[in-house]
Amino acid sequence: MRAITWTYARLKAAQIRGGLVACVHDELLLEVHEADAATARDILETAMIDAFTATFPGAPLANVAKATIGRNWAEAKA
């Protein structure tokens, strides 16, 4: 839940065109303007890592979150 709220707030603050459209288990799906994709990816990944760190202080961070870009969900997961 932290990752969701932090991602939303950070996307809004960065004036990203688009936003969060789905949450499936531990995955968040964004739909944003193509020109904003790289910035949105960085915001999402950072928010997820920050939320994990806040929830589990001192836990290892290796492979905690990896955000990718694709024209659809299947392409982004490939």
Q: How many structural domains are present in the chain? A: 1
Domain membership of residue 26 as a residue range: 2-77
Per-residue pLDDT for 73 more than 90?
Answer: no
Q: With contact defined as beta carbons under 8 Å apart, do 41 and 17 qualify?
A: no
Contacts 24+ apart (CB under 8 A), 64-69: 67/41, 67/42, 68/41, 69/37, 69/38, 69/41
Tell me the per-residue pLDDT of 45-64, one tens digit each, with 9 for 90 and over: 999 999 999 999 999 999 99
List pLDDT tens digits, range 16-56. 999 999 998 889 999 999 999 999 999 999 999 999 999 99
* Interior/surface letters 16-25, b for 16+ CB within 10 angstroms, e for the rest: beeebeeeee
